[in-house]
Amino acid sequence: MTLLGLDIGGTNLKAVSLSPEGRVLASVTVPAGGAIPRETLLARVADTVRGIAGAVPARIGIAVGGALQPDGTMRLGSTNLPNLADLPLVETFSALLGAPCRFEHDGRAAMRGEGWVGAARGAANAMTLTFGTGIGAGLLLGGRIHPGAHLGAGEIGVWRLAPPPETGDWLSVEDIAAPGGFAFRRRGLDYATLVAAPASDADRAGLFGLVGRTIANAHTLLDLEVVVLVGGVTALGEPFRAAVAAAFEAACPAGFAHGLAIRLGELGPYCGAIGAAALWRDELPA
C-alpha cells in the first residue's frame, strides 16, 4: 500500500506518494494557499490527489500551517490558511477525497518526516526548526512526537524577546529571524546576503545570535540530541548551518552544548508532506 501526504501551506500545496518504507514515488507542488477562496482550494486539493494517486488512496495524511484545536479545527488568527479556519478538517477532507484523513501541524509533520527517513532518524529527542514566512518547531521527545496539552507545542517563533514598548506590540523571534519577518521586510535583508557577510557584520551577528540563543534556550530546557534546520533557506547549505551552529555554541552555557548536533534537513521542501504521510505508518500491513 502506498502512502499519500499533503502539505497545505500559505502559498503552495505539496503532495507526495510514498512506499511503505518512506521512498518518494511521486511528488508535485501546485499554487494554492490561504489567499484563494475555500472552494477553489478544496477543488485544487482534490485534483492534486487524483493526479498523483490515480485511484483513491487508502489513507491520506495532511499537514497544515496552523494551530489545530482539540475539536479538529483551526482558529482564525492561528493559521496562514484563513480559508480553512473553523472548518471541521477531518470530516471535510475525508468526504472530499473519499478516503480517511489525518491532520498534523506542519512543524510537527516536518519533525515526523525528518525523524522517520531524514536527518533525525534514530534520534529519540530532536527538534526541527523551520524557516519560512514565520519560524516554527517540531518536537520529538522520548521517541514520540510531542503535540503539547492543547496541541500547541512548537510555536517557537512567537517567543517574546523584550517587554512591550509603550506603543506597539511585542517583538518575537520570527519578527526578527524569519525570512518573511518584520525585520527582513523593513530593512530589505535576506539570508543569502547575511550568510555571505563577514562575522563582524552587525546585521549578521544580530540575526544568527538570535537564532543561536533560541536553539540554546530550547536545548537547555529539553536536552536534545539533534536540531534539524528545514525550510527554503537551507538551500544555502553548509555556510548557513555552520553560522547557526557557531551562534548556538556561543550562546549555550558551558557544559550544555556538548552532544547536540545541528544538521540540515534531508527531505527538502517535501519534509512536511512526507511527515504527514507517516501519520498512517501504524496502519500499514505487516
**pLDDT band, very low/low/confident/very high, at 283 (cuts 50, 70, 90):** low
Distance between CA atoms of 7 and 276, rounded to whole angstroms?
7
| b/e map 189-213, b = 16+ CB within 10 Å | bebeebbebeeeeeebbebbbbbbb
CA distances from 229 to 83, 126, 168, 233, 281 (A): 28, 11, 31, 9, 24
Q: Which among 48-62, 93-107, 270-284 has the top mean pLDDT?
A: 93-107
Q: Is 143 left (phi over 0), alpha (psi -120 to 50) or beta?
A: left
Q: What is the pLDDT of residue 36?
A: 92
In the chain, % of residues over pLDDT 70: 97
Distance between CA atoms of 50 and 37, rounded to whole angstroms?
20
**pLDDT band, very low/low/confident/very high, at 164 (cuts 50, 70, 90):** confident
Residue 230 phi/psi, 5-degree rounding, is: -135, 165
All three cell numbers of 59, joined, read 489513507
pLDDT above 70 for 172: yes
Lowest mean pLDDT among 13-27, 68-82, 192-206, 225-239: 68-82
Q: What's the whole-number mean pLDDT along residues 32-39?
A: 91
Q: Which residues contact 254 (CB under 8 A, 6 or more apart)?
A: none
Find the helix packing angle between 38-53 and 89-97, rounded to 10°: 50
55, HSE (Cβ side, Cα atoms, 13 Å): 4
Q: What's the whole-number mean pLDDT along residues 234-263?
A: 95
Q: What is the pLDDT of residue 286?
A: 44
**pLDDT band, very low/low/confident/very high, at 7 (cuts 50, 70, 90):** very high
pLDDT above 50 for 78: yes
Q: What's the whole-number mean pLDDT along residues 133-142?
A: 93
**pLDDT band, very low/low/confident/very high, at 264 (cuts 50, 70, 90):** very high
Find the helix packing angle between 238-251 and 202-222, rounded to 10°: 70
pLDDT above 80 for 156: yes
How much is the mean pLDDT over the chain? 91
Side chain identity, residue 204: R
pLDDT in tens, 141-150: 999 999 999 8
pLDDT above 90 for 53: no
pLDDT above 90 for 134: no
Residue 236 per-residue DSSP state: G
**pLDDT band, very low/low/confident/very high, at 230 (cuts 50, 70, 90):** very high
Distance between CA atoms of 242 and 84, rounded to whole angstroms?
38
Q: Which pTM was predicted?
A: 0.92
Q: What is the pLDDT of residue 83?
A: 92
All three cell numbers of 131, joined, read 524557516
Distance between CA atoms of 93 and 120, rounded to whole angstroms?
30
Helix (H, G, I), strand (E, B) or coil at 246: helix
All three cell numbers of 265, joined, read 534537513
Q: What is the pLDDT of residue 56?
A: 64
Q: What's the whole-number mean pLDDT along residues 228-248?
A: 95
Q: What's the whole-number mean pLDDT along residues 76-84?
A: 84
Helix (H, G, I), strand (E, B) or coil at 164: coil
Side chain identity, residue 160: R
In the chain, % of residues over pLDDT 90: 70
Q: What's the whole-number mean pLDDT along residues 242-259?
A: 94
State the pairing for strand pair 226-231/261-264.
parallel
Q: What angle (nearest 5°) sits at the alpha carbon of residue 276, between those of residues 218 and 233? A: 55
Whether residue 59 contacts residue 280, with contact meaning beta carbons closer than 8 Å, is answered with yes
What are the structural domains of the chain? 3-105+279-283 (3.30.420.40), 119-265 (3.30.420.40)
